[in-house]
Amino acid sequence: MIRGIRGATTVERDDEPLILAASEALLQEMISKNDIDPKRVASLFFSVTADLRAAFPSKVMRKFTDWKFVPIMNMQEIPVAGSLPHCIRVMIHVDTDREQESIKHVYRNGAVSLRPDLNQMEQEL
């Protein structure tokens, strides 16, 4: 079954090293918490808010050598008034036997506010 695994993080400002470091940390945690094997990944999507333009977050995937053949896409979030600024979001589509409820979505830094319900579940486990 293909499942989507979500993640999000924020950075302090539009800066390439910050964007890449935050993206790498987010992906490492998502991969670790969900035991993701890149050979079972169908695709990976990154999105950023309009205020982040210094780097493609997917550039960090060059450090993940086993992910060379995974299709990856970058896109811009819809600029909704009042939305969380400086935000990087990730969606990994992976073939897994895990039930929907056992997928561990990851929200870091200011992005914790996007899904406090999921963060509370993680703390209770």
The CATH number covering residue 85 comes to 3.30.1330.40
Q: What integer is the mean pLDDT of 55-69?
A: 94
Confidence tier at 114 by pLDDT (50, 70, 90): confident
Average pLDDT, the chain: 92
Question: Residue 41: in which H helix or E strand, if any?
Answer: strand 41-48
Task: Decide if pLDDT at 125 tops 60.
Answer: no
Question: Using CA of residue 10, residue 28, residue 94, residue 54, what is the dihedral sign?
Answer: positive
Residue positions counted in the chain? 125
**CA–CA dist 116, 46 (Å, integer):** 21
What residues contact residue 39 under an 8 Å CB cut-off, 6+ apart? 66
Mean pLDDT across the stretch 51-64?
95
Span 5-14, average pLDDT: 97
CA distance 109 to 112: 6
Kindly tell me if the per-residue pLDDT of 30 is higher than 80: yes
* Contact between 23 and 57 (Cβ < 8 Å): yes
pLDDT greater than 50 at residue 56: yes
- Taking every pair of Cα atoms in the chain, the longest distance, rounded to a whole number of angstroms, is 38
pLDDT digits (tens, 9 = 90+) for 65-107: 899 999 999 999 999 999 999 999 999 999 999 999 999 999 9
Say if CB 18 and CB 11 are below 8 A apart.
yes
Within 10 Å of residue 81's Cβ, how many Cβ atoms?
4
**Residue 124 has what pLDDT?**
47
pLDDT band at 108; cut points 50, 70, 90:
very high
Q: Which domain holds residue 82?
A: 2-124
Q: Quick check: pTM over 0.85?
A: yes
Domains held by the chain: number: 1
